[in-house]
Amino acid sequence: MADSPHLSGDLSTPESGAGGVRWRRFALLTVPAIAVTAGLGIALAQGALAASFAVSGQQFKVSASSLEGEGFAQYGSVDVNARNELIPVAVTAIREAKLHDLCQSVVTTLPVIGDISLNLTAGGKTPVEASNLFVDATQLSGDAVFSNIEIGRDASTLDKGPAEAQGMQDLFAQQADTVSITGLHQTAWATNAGTFKLSGLSMNISKGKKECF
């Protein structure tokens, strides 16, 4: 019976036999990964990553019947949690935004008790207003209309959104003069804003799973 595949061999040699580990090839594969990790470390030190705080271990959901914004930018970045783990996100940055029928929800599962839902609503009559709004998201959907959009711009050269809305050099980004989204659904790790005015704010905690969408 033929021998089965294995990973044995003389590990002290640059390249072992046919069934052994090829160390030169392994080194070539690991160098890019090490370079990326080092690059992210440098970006973190320079404050080039997304949220300026350690994000929690829970994502939350946000919905709105409509969003109108002036000065839109979007680019890829990375959040960091309290364990110093890196989390890829898409940053949506808007210089001035108005949201109608805003809903925000997060579900926490506790021992014995089970699911606990925290729900926040605002903007039912008067829209929620935000300036220099940043959302670090993993999912976004809705019907969107952009004016004077630029797709594929270098993330380090963005200039239509908030002043701080710039990503790392050579990364993909897009920006527009204005954005309008109806039926907004978004899943995010973090949100921060210069100002956040929530008219008609209501917060509720309840047992069970109760999400915005």
Q: Residue 93 phi/psi, 5° resolution?
A: -120, 130
Structure tokens belonging to residue 79: 């959040």
pLDDT band at 113 (very low <50, low <70, confident <90, very high): very high
pLDDT for residue 184: 98
pLDDT for residue 51: 79
In tens, the pLDDT along 56-108 reads 999 999 999 999 999 999 999 999 999 999 999 999 999 999 999 999 999 99
Query: What average pLDDT does the structure give for the chain?
Result: 85
What letters, b where the CB count within 10 A reaches 16 and e where it falls short, cover 162-178?
beebbbbeeeebbbbeb
pLDDT for residue 37: 52
Which residues face 74 on adjacent strands?
92, 174
Nearest to 73 by CA among 55, 90, 58, 88: 90
Does the pLDDT of residue 8 top 50, yes or no? no
| CA dist list (Å): 159 to 78, 153, 154, 163, 191 | 20, 10, 11, 7, 20
H-state helical runs in the chain: 23-45
Does the pLDDT of residue 191 top 90, yes or no? yes
pLDDT for residue 13: 43
